[in-house]
Chains A and B, each alone.
Chain A
Amino acid sequence: MNKLAELVFSGTIRGALYALVALGFVVVYKTTGVINFAHGGLLLLGTYLTYNAHVTWGLPFWPAVALAALLTAAVGVLVERLVLRRMVGRPVFAVVMVTLGLLVIVQQVVPAIWTYERLNLDDPWGVRAVAVAGVRVEVKDLWTLGLTAVALAAFTLFFRGSRYGLAMRATAFDQEAALAQGISASRVAALAWAIAGAVATLAGVLLAAGSGGVEPGKDLIALAAFPAIILGGLDSPLGAVVGGLAIGVTQALTAGYQPVHAAFLGTSFDSVLPYVVMVLILLVRPYGLFGTRTVVRA
């Protein structure tokens, strides 16, 4: 029973990170229709900027995270303005490839500046652990859960309650109608990219804290989060959370039990399980669990 509880907990942590990454994707997709493969690049950049601000420049941890989030948000806005803005109205594959091209660039620029070495983020949690209901839990993991919940709640409040949130929802619903109401589409797009950059930084920091470490290749979680996004539906923030948690827990359970009970699937099957789930989900519900039903079937 203890093993099960541990697996569910670690899966929930993983899922929370997926949800945080997915949120960044969904915000951009919902408001601008761009599926941003470069999101992992923003995550990488945010993590390294935090490292730079905290370890190299000696800022305290939280101000360093805030500064990095701000800078990454600025990079997001810049990318939107300089590149994605020019791609409006272009075919889907072109937009997908532009973001992939950006990802390729970031993946090389980051190690060129900070080397390939695994760096220690020197976060306040380290590898300390406490026992919660008999289960050994890392302090960092509790913070991950808490901060993810706060970030998601803050986003929901902003999205539902604030003037700009309303503008974003209106743009997502019908861009032309939103424009006719005097909503600036370019400002909404910039805002979406800024939020994506900030959220990506938070996700990256949580991923790299403690035993995680700062290293190139951490952006892979953004690709691993795709199944969570698809599961929840590309344009649903709620779906991002549910999908993230579902995938995270399934993955942890698979990692715990599959090597014993279904060994024929091979080692580290858990790392591809999300994609299996994704393909199965898409066969049954091509628009995900909470997505808008706009996908056309052949």
Chain B
Amino acid sequence: MGTPAAFARRANRPKAPPDPLRLLPTRASRLLALALVAGLALLPLVLDSDLWLTVLLFVGATAIGALGLNLLTGFTGQVSLGHAFFLGLGAYTACYLGNPVDGDPAGRGLPLVVWLPLSALVPGLVGLVVGPAALRLSGNYLAVVSLGLVFLGAHVFNQWESVTGGSDGTAVLPSLALGPVDFAALGGLTRNQSLFFLVWGLLGVATVGCANLIRSRPGRAMQAVRDREVAAQVMGVSLVRYKLGAFAISSGLAGVSGALYAVILTFIEPGTWSLPLSIQFVAMIIVGGIGTTVGGILGAAFVGALPELVRRATDGVPFVARTASEDGLSLPQLNQILFGLSIVAFLVLEPRGLAALWGRARTRSSRR
């Protein structure tokens, strides 16, 4: 602690403002992050609803993909409706490499440390290959071409039966063991509880990685590209390099997201990776908050929890059909309608999404 004089000097030093470049600039934010991590780690142990646990698993898995899409769309300004294709690519990579050798369909039986990184790498590389074609275009044309990618991808997934099981689909049962740690059964926990740690652990890594990328040199370059391409070029930012880079990273994250999604589902078919899934991901970043790191996670939570919330909220509402025999709006229909409405409503009323709502609430409470 030093001499009393040194102590006094330290105490009298004017308080430095929080450094905006740090990931967690204030002590409060550091404490909040710590509490969040601790809370999340305890959650699967105390949550006694397997249903909500499954919802949380899907939220975690899709949030990784949403982070990736936000890098591409929110931070680099490139519209993509092709995200579902890269999710599918990651899922089939995981399935082909990780499924047991004697299983049906047969896989390569490789361990987690192989199939998981490759389920990011393969889509990332494909993203690099497709990227140059897509990035010659901008705006509307890019949206339409990336849409074409989804349709072409669905054709390949349907036809390449030896890997994807064709239109009949395939079981996804890769080994989830990382050395002695098996994420399918962590000491006495159920599969869903154990998976939670893998999925949310990876989400944590991806979140910190994205946040770090955004506040460093490449992140600023990407945002410059988004804000005005010509100005970015004048400052020496290579458009091709950063657009392609964002495309590859976004595709890689989509791949991991797809692989985890498939592991949670345990069964996938080509129809899973079609336009509605792409729309879901774009909806996530819109609802959550375009161009914010937390936005993707908030959006994934919103989209993931919506069906269950709707199911509970409509209990006893007359025009909603609970079973197939009843008249009225079915639950899936209502879900989709609310989903569509929330896309439109957020874009029209609060284009910066839930993240902005949260930010506004925080400023208001700190002003008091």
A residues at B contact (CB < 8 Å): 29, 35, 83, 86-87, 90-94, 96-98, 100-105, 107-109, 111-112, 223, 226-227, 229-230, 234, 265-269, 271-272, 275-276, 278-279, 282-283, 286, 295-298
Option from B151, B240, B275, B330 in Cβ contact (under 8 Å) with A275 = B151
Determine how close the nearest CB of chain B comes to the CB of A271; give it in whole angstroms. Answer: 8
Bound state CA distance, A12 and B214, in angstroms? 51
| Interface check B54, CB cutoff 8 A | no
| Interface check B347, CB cutoff 8 A | yes
Q: Which residues of B contact A223 (CB under 8 A)?
A: 147, 151, 275
Bound state CA distance, A100 and B276, in angstroms? 10
Question: Which applies to chain A's interface (DSSP): helix, strand, loop or mixed?
Answer: helix
Q: A94-B351, A96-B143, A265-B159 are in contact. List 18 more A-B contacts (CB 8 A).
A: A86-B348, A87-B348, A92-B139, A92-B140, A94-B347, A98-B347, A100-B343, A101-B344, A103-B340, A104-B336, A105-B336, A108-B337, A112-B329, A230-B141, A234-B140, A286-B141, A296-B138, A298-B135
Q: Which residues of B contact A267 (CB under 8 A)?
A: 159
| Interface check B42, CB cutoff 8 A | no
Q: Which residues of A contact B333 (CB under 8 A)?
A: 108, 111-112
Bound state CA distance, A235 and B147, in angstroms? 19
Q: Which residues of A contact B30 (CB under 8 A)?
A: none
Residue contacts A-B, CB under 8 angstroms, 15 given? A35-B140, A35-B144, A90-B347, A91-B77, A96-B81, A96-B140, A108-B337, A112-B330, A112-B337, A266-B155, A275-B148, A278-B144, A279-B145, A286-B136, A296-B138
Q: Which residue of A lies closest to B141 (CB)?
A: A295
Bound state CA distance, A35 and B79, in angstroms? 13
Contact between B152 and A275, CB atoms less than 8 A apart = yes
Q: Which residues of A contact B336 (CB under 8 A)?
A: 104-105, 107-108
Interface centre among B135, B330, B343 (most CB of A within 10 A): B343
Contact between B243 and A87, CB atoms less than 8 A apart = no
Give how many A-B residue pairs fall within 8 Å (CB-CB): 132
Interface 1/0s, chain B 328-340, versus A by CB < 8 A? 0110011011011
Q: Take A230-B141, A278-B145, A282-B133 as given contacts and tell me if A97 and B340 are in contact as well, using a CB distance cutoff of 8 Å.
A: no
Bound state CA distance, A271 and B148, in angstroms? 11
Complex interface: stretch among B191-199, B278-286, B309-317: B278-286
Option from B77, B79, B137, B337 in Cβ contact (under 8 Å) with A109 = B337
Contact between A101 and B343, CB atoms less than 8 A apart = yes
Bound state CA distance, A91 and B228, in angstroms? 12
Option from A87, A229, A278, A295 in Cβ contact (under 8 Å) with B138 = A295
Q: Which residues of B contact A230 (CB under 8 A)?
A: 141, 144-145
Contact between B148 and A226, CB atoms less than 8 A apart = yes
Which B316-368 residues have a C-beta within 8 angstroms of A?
329-330, 333-334, 336-337, 339-344, 347-348, 351
Option from B73, B152, B347 in Cβ contact (under 8 Å) with A272 = B152
